[in-house]
Structure 1
Amino acid sequence: MSFTLANFGFDLSNREIATLIYLGLLLAAVIFWKKGRPLAHDVVRAFFFPKLALIWLSMSLYVAACVWLLAWLSLWDWPNLKSTLLWWLTVGFTCIFEAQQLKDKPYALRKLVRDAFTLSAIILFIAELVSFPLWVELLMLPSLVFLTLFIAVGEHQADKPGMPRVLNLLRGLQTLAGLIILGFSYWLVAGRVTDFWSLDTLREFGLPLLLWLMFVPFIFLLAVYMTYEEAFIHLQTRPRQTSIIRYARWRALLAFGWNIDGVKRLARDIRGRDIADKQGIKEAIGEINRALKIEKNPPAVARAEGWSPYAARLFLEEYGLVTDDYHRTQCEWFAHIPSVKLNDKVLADRISYYVTGHERAATRLRLALDASNQNDAKEAQCAFDERALALLVKVFDVERATTIYLRAQTSEPEALVIDGMRVSLDRSDWGDVRLGGYVRNLTIQHPMHQGDN
């Protein structure tokens, strides 16, 4: 029996041939361009950096094991080899970026699984079943790439005059091109249903979904590994703490396992509280475990004591201002979200939110606007006013919040005292009128607050 490339799924479509042609031209341009060769060499060397190479090798072995299992279950056959290799090259090698996202946002794990079953997956699969004549694909591919690049560049210059209109035009062209491709694909598929829908086609459709679902555990374990590496590598620059890094890592592994949040909290507490002995590590781990349990069922806090820190950290959730966990520092208990951009500009104004107090209750809330004089001052002030009013509503009530805020603006920078609570607004300017900026604060302080900070 003779074997051909088609037996392994390598019967290339015109779209794939066009892609290979352009990739070959790009590679040739890099090789023959004198200034490009050193850059290409640096990229290759960085790609095979020992730690990265170990990740790529582990990922490849994991994918091979998944393919072996699917073949054993009769869900994979040799005609699926091409699509498997493409999946390995495109999706598999992005695992480090997915793991980074999962490390920063552990709740994104559900999204990783959900994305595999979206309607877009079906739409894209049908669009890839057929292709245009080769000359059309050769013209279409660079046109779509440049169109996407123009949109990306325009989005970073959206504040320039006329740019929103240009962006709308470019996005309209992009949508029109997508509809034409999809319409052509659906028309051909509908006319030859029996040719396209077979067991091999079903395998081709289901294979990326199955591989992705089987790949999610690897991404999660990689995120855990990256969390441990990143969490403790910063301690190596601190002479007092280098001797306990190994001990802290193993204690964290035993105490938290794959709980990414717990590991990150421990590393932060070691740095923030300058913990330099094994007893301090044990106490910090015990404190974090207690905090994790309390957060699942927060205790009620009497109004006379302050606010529940677990509720206060969510007071401005609707604006994306959710603080990190409420934790002990060297001087106080504290939670904050240090910087949320008001828009997509490079030098956008930013809003921060801080919660301070003691172990049982939060006793001080602060909302801060860090603004630049180069940006729209009215837009920044409106955003700050909206969030300040929302915070006052949480602390007092809807009826009084607006009145209190107006009175605070009138008495600025002197503080108002409402129900024993000090409400104050202040502003501090920096730099000059053109290149400088300012910081504006709303502070709400409970009578039980201790200290000046």
Structure 2
Amino acid sequence: MSFTSASFGFDLSNREIAALVYLGLLLAAVLLWKKGRPLAFNVVRVFFMPKLALIWLLMSFYVAACVWLLAWLNLWDWPNLKSTLLWWLTVGFTSIFEAQRLKDKPHVLRKLVRDAFTLSAVILFIAELVSFPLWVELLMLPALVLLALLIAVGEHQTDKPGIPRVLGLLRGLQILAGLAILGFSYWLVATSISEFWSLNTLREFGLPLLLWLMFIPFIFLLAVYMTYEEAFIHLQVRPKQAPIVRYARWRALFAFGWNIDGVKRLARDIRGRDIADKQGVKEAIWEIRRRIKIEKNPPTVMRAEGWSPYAARLFLEEYGLVTDDYHRTQYEWFAHIPSVKLNDKVLADRISYYLTGNERAVTRLRLALDGSNQNDTREAQRAFDERALTLLTKAFDAERATTIYARAHASEPETWIVDGMRVSLNRSDWGDAHLGGYVRNLTIQHPKHQGDNLGV
């Protein structure tokens, strides 16, 4: 039996040939450019750093094991080799970014699974089944890349006059090009359906889906590994905590396993509470596990005590302002989300949300706007007003929220007392009227609050 490139799936389409041509030209340009060569070599050196090289090696072995299992189940054959290698070079080598995202937001694990079953996967597969003549692909590819780059740049310049209209035109061209490609692909497949649909075509369609589903455990384990590395590496440079880092890492491994959130909480508590001995680590782990258990079935908190920490952290959820877990610091119980952008500008205005209190209840709520005078101050104020009114509605009730906010404005910067609760609005400015900025605060303090008097 003779083997050809087609036997391993390497019968390249015109679209793949065009992509290889431009990749080759790009690589040649970088290598021929005197200043570009050192940069390219530095990228290669970083790519093969010992820790990264180990990840790439483990990832490659994992993918090979997945392919072997699929072949054993008769779901993979040699004609699928090209698509497998492409998947390995694209999805596999970007797994570190997915692991980073999963490390920061563990709940996206479900989204990773859902993404594999979206309708877009079917649409893209059919679009890739066929291609235009080579000369069309050679013209189309750089045009589409340029169009995408122009849109990406324009999205960060929306404050300039005329840009939104140009963006609308560019997006319209992008949609039109996409519809043309899809329309041609669907028409060609429909007219030659017996030619395109075969057992190998079904394998080609199912292979990325199966590989992705099998690859998610690797991404998750990589995220766990990265969490442990990042959580404790900062402690190693702190003279007081460095001696207990190894102990804390092993205790965390046995206490939390692959619970990313628990590991991050422990490292934070060691830093924040200045824990410097093994007994302190044990107590911190015990407290974190107890808090995680309580969070699954939160106790009822009477309004006379304050606000439930588990409810208060979600008061502004509709605006993406959900705090981290309510936890003990050296001086108080605390939770916060320190900075959420209001837009995509370089000097974007930011909103923060803070909870303070005791172990059982939150006794102070604070909403803060960190604004720049270079931005639209009225737009930032409207955003702050919306969130402030929502917070007052949660803290008091919907009927009185508007009245309370209006009275707080009238009393600013003095405190206004409602039902024994102290409501305060204040503003502090820095810099000048053009290049400076300001911080705007709304603070709601319960009578049970212990500590500074509306201090920020």
Query: Could you tell me the TM-score, scaled by structure 1's length?
Result: 1.00
Aligned-pair distance for 1:423?
0.4
The within-5 A match list for 1:149-228 is: 149-228=149-228
Aligned-pair distance for 1:256?
0.1
Q: Secondary structure at the match of 1:139?
A: helix
Aligned-pair distance for 1:30?
1.1
The within-5 A match list for 1:201-350 is: 201-350=201-350
Residues 259-281 of structure 1: per-residue CA shift (max 9 Å, x gap): 00000000000000110000000
For 1:225 and 1:273, the matched residues in 2 are separated by 24
Q: Secondary structure at the match of 1:2?
A: coil
For 2:400 and 2:352, the matched residues in 1 are separated by 24
Aligned-pair distance for 1:56?
0.3
In the alignment, is residue 421 of structure 1 matched against residue 410 of structure 2? no
Residues 372-427 of structure 1: per-residue CA shift (max 9 Å, x gap): 11111110111111110100100111111111110110011111111000001001
For 2:427 and 2:31, the matched residues in 1 are separated by 56
For 2:344 and 2:215, the matched residues in 1 are separated by 32
In the alignment, is residue 119 of structure 1 matched against residue 119 of structure 2? yes
Q: Secondary structure at the match of 1:354?
A: strand
Aligned-pair distance for 1:2?
1.0
How many pairs align?
453
Aligned-pair distance for 1:237?
1.1
Show the counterpart of 1:11: 11
Q: Please report the RMSD computed on the Cα atoms of aligned residues, expressed in angstroms.
A: 0.5
Show the counterpart of 1:23: 23
For 2:79 and 2:322, the matched residues in 1 are separated by 49
Structure 1: which amino acid aligns with 2:407?
R
The within-5 A match list for 1:46-85 is: 46-85=46-85
For 2:382 and 2:47, the matched residues in 1 are separated by 46
Aligned-pair distance for 1:344?
1.2
Give runs of ≥4 in structure 1 deviating > 4 Å.
none
Show the counterpart of 2:104: 104
Show the counterpart of 2:401: 401
For 1:414 and 1:23, the matched residues in 2 are separated by 64
The within-5 A match list for 1:138-149 is: 138-149=138-149
Structure 1: which amino acid aligns with 2:422?
R
Q: Secondary structure at the match of 1:258?
A: coil
Show the counterpart of 2:377: 377
Structure 1: which amino acid aligns with 2:398?
V
Q: Secondary structure at the match of 2:356?
A: strand
For 1:146 and 1:376, the matched residues in 2 are separated by 31
For 1:24 and 1:321, the matched residues in 2 are separated by 46
Structure 1: which amino acid aligns with 2:336?
H
Residues 202-228 of structure 1: per-residue CA shift (max 9 Å, x gap): 000000000000000000000000000
For 2:392 and 2:335, the matched residues in 1 are separated by 18
Gapped runs of 5+ residues in structure 1?
none
Structure 2: which amino acid aligns with 1:373?
N
The within-5 A match list for 1:128-143 is: 128-143=128-143
Aligned-pair distance for 1:82?
0.2
For 2:288 and 2:419, the matched residues in 1 are separated by 34
Structure 2: which amino acid aligns with 1:251?
R
Residues 21-70 of structure 1: per-residue CA shift (max 9 Å, x gap): 11111111111111110000000000000000000000000000000000
For 2:113 and 2:401, the matched residues in 1 are separated by 42
**Matched residues, percent identical?**
84
